[in-house]
Structure 1
Amino acid sequence: MPTATTLERVESFLPDRSVRIDDVADRLGLRRPEIGVFRRIYGLDRLRFDPDGGLFDLVLPAARRALKALPEGRRVRYVVYAHTVQTVTPPHIDAAQVIRQDLGLHDAEAFALSQQACVSSLGAIDLAGELLRAEAPEGAYALMVTGERAYSPKVQLIPNSAIMADAAAACLVTVGGPGDEVRSFTTRTLGEFAAGLEMTREQITRFGQVYGTVLGEVIHEAVAAAGLDFDDIDLVVPHNVNTVSWRQTIKAMGADPAKFFLDNIPRYSHTYASDVFVNYTTLREGGRLVDGGHYVLVSVGLGATFGAMVITHRAR
């Protein structure tokens, strides 16, 4: 059997500035009743948002903390920058290369992934493991980095769904390490919804109708691929798009709502590809990740890709 991908360290970073969703209403062109819907129906309240901060000010702190877990003498072979929005820098700046250089990882191969939108961070972990097994020397590492700013109203608002916020995360990845074991990764892409924010009203309605069912199926597929039953799962660690879509998914699955960590939705809102890792570190710092416990990291990306990754936590 191939040696498992392991997460040796997970870190996240949130800007200090916290605002209420009311404070971004004018910027997003939202009327007071619409803000009320986001709060009462979608469960949003606050978000971290620093319009004066730069992209690399956001991304680098979590990456630097994750690298502190790199054993002495070991190398990072790959730096993978996973992001949702296609364009995060001016065209003359390659963000992945800047991140590599600023972290001093000059010998690493650096590239970006964005094709799965908010699922790209989970996909990047899966890809990093495959690359390490296929072509890296034994004991090599990869660094998966996320983080992007809600730099314009166009990329900050998903109408009738989410308000995007600032956050970043980083995962130090290897194969066969003592960290959290990645047991499975499952995705499903529904290409009929590829238009994303440009979907017609009919497509949006149809997407809403199938969302909960498909996401539930992907979660169950990932759990089965990990050789587990859903009863074995300690907690689902989700993206923070909104509470109503998660209630829909939980109902479609016939699952216990207590198995889904939704506490950060009103605190931080949706943070692109960083959500699941912000939630992971919140759980870890709260002492809620159990040694030997099984967790499902879940996200959905516009386009539309549904992704679920099952990990087994190893406390150290």
Structure 2
Amino acid sequence: MARTTLERVESYLPERSVRIEELSEHLGLRRAELGVFRKFYGLETLRFDPGLDLFDLLRPAARRVLDALPDGGRVAWLVYAHTTQAVTPADVEPAQVLRRELGLDGAEAFGLSHQACVSSLGALDVIGELLRAEGDENAYALMITGERAFSPIVQHIPNTAIMADAAAACLVTLDGRGDTVLSFVTRTLGEYADWLDLTPEQSNDFGQQYGPRIAEVIRLAVAEAGLAFDDIELIIPHNVNMLAWRQAVKALEVPLEKVFLDNVPRYSHTFASDVFVNYTTLRDEGRLVEGAHYVMVSVGLGATFGAMVITHHEGETPA
């Protein structure tokens, strides 16, 4: 079976950076709550630009990955993966706007959101199936992810995260020169679907399950890839908070250094874009190793846990 490959990965972060204390009035957070986010969850700054249009956020990374489209290649699919189900007014279809603005009139375009922050990894899995069904060696797909923290109810997840602005994009094909997708595993705990109305007992139960469930999907994805955990160079995670990842690391029984957490205090949680923001940070710092295996991991409210194992190849290079 032809393997899904990531031919180019790019991310985009707005220039405006704010300290979490600057959002206290906007989010209605007391000093004690901010102290918890800084001291225990490890958040310090994040990118947040209320004046930035959604499509201005999404276009830069998408345009950069399209620069890698080879002569003769065609974008058959454009998939916009997002966490919040409604990111635009009801009369605006963001995937169609992106197709038009990027000049991809020949592509089929649609949005995907029902795995929340795992939607971007899920979109890559869907894209692989679509390309295999397409059966055209010149066919590519463009996956775009990113959304704005457009209101306090979206930006503040109580006792969990403060959301930030970012976007990312991947150019995807089959059996290309880029990073090879070896496996993708998800687990959904539907009993936590109504996240905002969980009882205190349900919230506590979910907190107890969080680390073990992340560890479970990571180990399942590694096994499905035909690897042992010792074969994994690094875990590339979502940036929800440091406390959650300490719980996951404890469940995995690995050193904290096995998970790339440098961007948690710098950028906070950026919806479904985290793993790609972290990937491009590692790549641009020269920290991705040719032929090494990595696990991209995210968790979506609702609650879906997802892990994807990739093998890095230097054929994927920055623009």
Structure 1 unaligned spans of 5+:
none
Instruction: Say whether residues 1:61 and 2:53 are aligned partners.
Output: no
CA distance in 2, matches of 1:27, 1:136: 50
Counterpart contact for 1:28–1:157, Cα < 8 Å:
yes
How many matched pairs?
Answer: 315
CA distance in 2, matches of 1:203, 1:54: 36
- 2:230 maps to 231
- 1:183 maps to 182
- Report the residue type matching 2:118 in the other structure: V
CA distance in 1, matches of 2:86, 2:200: 26
Counterpart contact for 1:238–1:298, Cα < 8 Å:
yes
Instruction: Say whether residues 1:35 and 2:44 are aligned partners.
Output: no
- 1:88 maps to 87
Structure 2 counterpart SS, 1:235? strand
**Residues 8-44 of structure 1: CA deviation (Å, up to 9, x unaligned):** 0000000000000001111100001110100000000
- 1:240 maps to 239
What is the CA-CA distance between 1:135 and the residue it aligns to?
2.4
Structure 2 unaligned spans of 5+:
none
Equivalent runs, 1:1-316 vs 2, <5 Å = 2-316=1-315
Structure 1 counterpart SS, 2:131? helix
- Report the residue type matching 2:248 in the other structure: T
Query: Scaled by the length of structure 2, what TM-score is found?
Result: 0.98
% same residue = 67
Structure 1 counterpart SS, 2:184? strand
What is the CA-CA distance between 1:255 and the residue it aligns to?
1.1
- Report the residue type matching 2:161 in the other structure: A
CA distance in 2, matches of 1:198, 1:281: 36
What is the CA-CA distance between 1:256 and the residue it aligns to?
1.7
CA distance in 2, matches of 1:126, 1:203: 30
CA distance in 1, matches of 2:113, 2:101: 21
Counterpart contact for 2:72–2:138, Cα < 8 Å:
no
Structure 2 counterpart SS, 1:234? strand
CA distance in 2, matches of 1:59, 1:203: 35
Query: Cα RMSD between the aligned structures?
Result: 0.6
What is the CA-CA distance between 1:198 and the residue it aligns to?
2.5
Structure 1 counterpart SS, 2:244? helix
What is the CA-CA distance between 1:136 and the residue it aligns to?
4.5
Counterpart contact for 1:186–1:309, Cα < 8 Å:
yes
- Report the residue type matching 1:149 in the other structure: R
- Report the residue type matching 1:72 in the other structure: D
CA distance in 1, matches of 2:195, 2:293: 32
CA distance in 2, matches of 1:68, 1:201: 49
Counterpart contact for 1:48–1:167, Cα < 8 Å:
yes
- Report the residue type matching 2:249 in the other structure: I
Counterpart contact for 2:187–2:304, Cα < 8 Å:
yes
**Residues 214-237 of structure 1: CA deviation (Å, up to 9, x unaligned):** 110100000000000110000000
- Report the residue type matching 1:64 in the other structure: R
Counterpart contact for 1:77–1:136, Cα < 8 Å:
no
**Residues 228-261 of structure 1: CA deviation (Å, up to 9, x unaligned):** 0110000000000000000000001111211100
- Report the residue type matching 2:307 in the other structure: A
Moved over 3 A (4+): none
CA distance in 2, matches of 1:135, 1:62: 25
CA distance in 2, matches of 1:224, 1:263: 27
- Report the residue type matching 1:123 in the other structure: G
Structure 1 counterpart SS, 2:60? helix
